[in-house]
Amino acid sequence: MEMHQLRYFVKVAEHENFTRAAESCGVSQPSLSQQISKLERELGQPLFERLSRKVALTDSGKILLEHATQVLSLVEEAKVRIHDAAEIGKGRVTIASIPTIAPYLLPKVLGDFTQHFPNAYVEVNEDVTDEAIRKCLAGDIDVLILAMPFDEENLRVEPLFEEELFVVLPKHHPLAAKEKLAVKEVETEQFVLLNEAHCLSENVLSFCHQRSFLPTVSCRGSQLQTIQELVSLGRGVSMIPAMAKALDKSKSRVYRSVAGKPPTRKIVMAWNKNRFQSQLAKNLAETIRKICVQ
């Protein structure tokens, strides 16, 4: 049983497809299939059920996956620790964040971090919450910056800050003349929201439900910039985080606070508590703390 065979096996289990696994591993599909067959012959058990459109783990495959993941994780941890001991301040570190945070916060974080650690290679991932967490638990991400809520017992979560969500309106909307808006004034408006995969939509809908109304959603988008432009076009109103509001220079829309207790979201940093955290990852986490308390 060889390390590359275990890597191939784990990728097939992840993708449920030999071709996509081979592409992910950078090898040909026949070569990968051959190595999986060798592994099955060595163990004397089939590891996958070959179905019409995908492959699925057998009971033996499920057992091997659990141990193979641990073995690969331990090997990767050993590499990181050895690298840390040899080259402080050098190496690779990965950070992931969601699309409603990444373009607004990460430039500040990365600018400060690369200034202090110019020899470090930083890989940035932008993804929705569930996918970012999956990658972190798989060992592909060192540090996450996310918005609550989410629940994952294998992550260590550290609160960073709480930010207000502002109602964004077209410039000439009748409510734009007011400094603050009552909930009753916006509950009859049509809303433009992000797709359901984005946790910001959950934040907005949760606030509305707490105020005993269900917003009418006129359309959805996959990026905050799209939502802002749709608002400018009069397709509805929305709720936008303070960090996005701060960078919006458009004169075609305005932002207003909700009177009383306005909607907010909690921004947190997280990492895999079962995985060794390199010194470089710790330095990145410290940079994030410094930026977020300014």
Q: Are residues 28 and 102 in the same domain?
A: no
Which pLDDT score, from 0 to 100, does residue 13 have? 92
Question: What's the pLDDT tens digit per position in 158-200?
Answer: 999 999 999 999 999 999 888 899 988 888 888 898 887 788 8
Do 148 and 186 have their domain in common?
no
What's the CATH number where 99 sits? 3.40.190.10
Residues 24 and 138 occupy one common structural domain: no
Asked which of 50, 84, 118 is the last residue of a domain, the reply is: 84
Both 174 and 233 in a single domain?
Answer: yes
pLDDT of residue 221: 84
pLDDT of res. 247: 92
Q: What percent of the chain has pLDDT over 90?
A: 55
Instruction: Report the candidate in 43, 222, 69, 59 with the shortest Cα–Cα distance to residue 134.
Output: 69
- Residue 108 above 90 pLDDT? yes
Is 74 in the same domain as 10?
Answer: yes
Least confident of 75-84, 131-140, 251-260: 75-84
Determine the Cα–Cα distance for residues 117 and 287; give it in Å rounded to an integer.
Answer: 11
Residue 151's pLDDT band, with cuts at 50, 70 and 90, is: confident
Q: What is the mean pLDDT of residues 107-132?
A: 91
% of the chain exceeding 70 in pLDDT: 98
| Structural domains counted in the chain | 3
The pLDDT, as a whole number, for residue 5 is 92
Q: Are residues 121 and 198 in the same domain?
A: no
Which of 40, 63, 84 terminates a domain? The answer is 84
CATH label of the domain that carries residue 166: 3.40.190.290
**Three-state secondary structure call for residue 200:** helix
Structural domain for 246, as ranges: 162-264
pLDDT higher than 80, residue 135: yes
Judge if 124 and 270 occupy the same domain.
Answer: yes
Q: What is the pLDDT of residue 211?
A: 83
Q: Which of 159-163, 218-222, 267-271 has the lowest mean pLDDT?
A: 218-222
Residue 92: pLDDT above 90?
Answer: no
Number of H helices, E strands in the chain: 11, 12
The pLDDT value recorded for residue 91 is 78
Assess whether pLDDT exceeds 90 at residue 276: no
Per-residue model confidence (pLDDT) at position 88: 63
What DSSP letter does each residue of 110-135 carry, written as one string? Answer: HHHHHHH-TTEEEEEEE--HHHHHHH
pLDDT tens-digit readout, 47-73: 999 887 889 999 999 999 999 998 988
201 closest CA partner among 125, 248, 149, 268:
149
Find out whether 94 and 125 touch, Cβ atoms under 8 Å.
Answer: yes
pLDDT of residue 86: 52
Confidence of residue 141 (pLDDT cuts 50, 70, 90): very high
Asked whether residue 74 falls in the same domain as residue 92, the answer is no
Q: Is 188 found in the same domain as 44?
A: no
Give CA–CA dist 206/280, Å, rounded.
37
Together in a domain, 130 and 275: yes
Asked if 257 and 181 touch (Cβ cutoff 8 Å), the reply is yes
For residues 156 and 270, membership in a common domain is answered with yes
Q: Domain boundary at 84, 118, 135, which? A: 84
260 and 167 share one domain = yes
* pLDDT at res. 10: 92
Residue 294 confidence (pLDDT) above 70 = no
Predicted local confidence at residue 89, as pLDDT = 67
